């Protein structure tokens, strides 16, 4: 019986160390992506002088919002690294930022009203889920309510 506990403990330690190594590599990849995204955004500033301002600002805005979505992914990875679990609120924040990026792109193209309505419904649903996850968080005790 004691030997099985030692084996389980060793397997758990191996899994935890392996997950930390993989997550560290993932964090480095995310940071590299953020730096590349920022560089690409600055590179796209040249479009202001070569294209009409409307399409140039659209491209720059989408670049910036994409970098912000990647920052939210980094927050999720760092939360897992420090707390050992993924926070649902961070994932929802990431999806909201990504969907809002698409909503911003809608301003620059013709859209059917059904597509806009579905997107708005998705954003509102995510916002409600976000509120529920904060309200009923595992860290929230009955004394706080």
- How much is the pTM? 0.69
Assess contact for 99 and 119: CB atoms under 8 A.
yes
pLDDT mean values, one per 10 residues, the chain (145 residues) = 66 84 92 95 91 85 87 85 78 82 71 81 88 76 46
Domain-located, residue 1: no
Sign of CA dihedral 69, 71, 77, 78: negative
Domain-located, residue 143: no
Domain-located, residue 130: yes
Write the pLDDT tens digit of every residue in 71-99: 988 888 888 878 777 777 878 888 887 88
Domain-located, residue 92: yes
Tokens at residue 60, please? 């720059």
Those residues whose C-beta lies under 8 Å from the C-beta of residue 86, and which sit 6 or more positions away, are 76, 79, 80
> Reduced to 3 states, what is the DSSP secondary structure of residue 118?
helix
Domain-located, residue 141: no
pLDDT at 145: 42
Domain-located, residue 140: no
Domain-located, residue 2: no
pLDDT at 39: 96
Rounded Cα–Cα distance for residues 43 and 37 (Å): 10
Domain-located, residue 145: no
Q: Which domain holds residue 52?
A: 13-135
Q: What is the dihedral of CA 122, 126, 132, 136, to 10 degrees?
A: 140
Rounded Cα–Cα distance for residues 4 and 7 (Å): 5
Phi and psi based region of residue 52 (left: phi greater than 0; alpha: psi -120 to 50; beta: remaining): beta
Q: Give me the number of domains the chain comprises.
A: 1
């Amino acid at each position: 019986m004691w030997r099985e506990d030692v084996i389980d403990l060793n397997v758990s330690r191996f899994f935890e160390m392996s997950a930390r190594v993989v997550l560290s590599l993932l964090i480095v990849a995310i940071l590299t992506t953020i730096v590349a995204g920022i560089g690409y955004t600055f590179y796209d500033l040249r479009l202001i002088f070569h294209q009409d301002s409307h399409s140039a600002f659209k491209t720059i805005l989408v670049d910036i919002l994409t970098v912000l979505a990647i920052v939210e992914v980094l927050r999720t990875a760092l939360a897992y690294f420090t707390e050992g679990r993924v926070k649902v609120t961070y994932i929802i924040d990431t999806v909201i930022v990504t969907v809002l990026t698409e909503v911003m792109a809608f301003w620059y193209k013709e859209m059917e009203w059904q597509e806009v309505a579905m997107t708005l419904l998705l954003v509102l649903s995510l916002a409600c889920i976000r509120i529920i996850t904060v309200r009923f968080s595992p860290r929230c005790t009955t004394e706080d309510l």
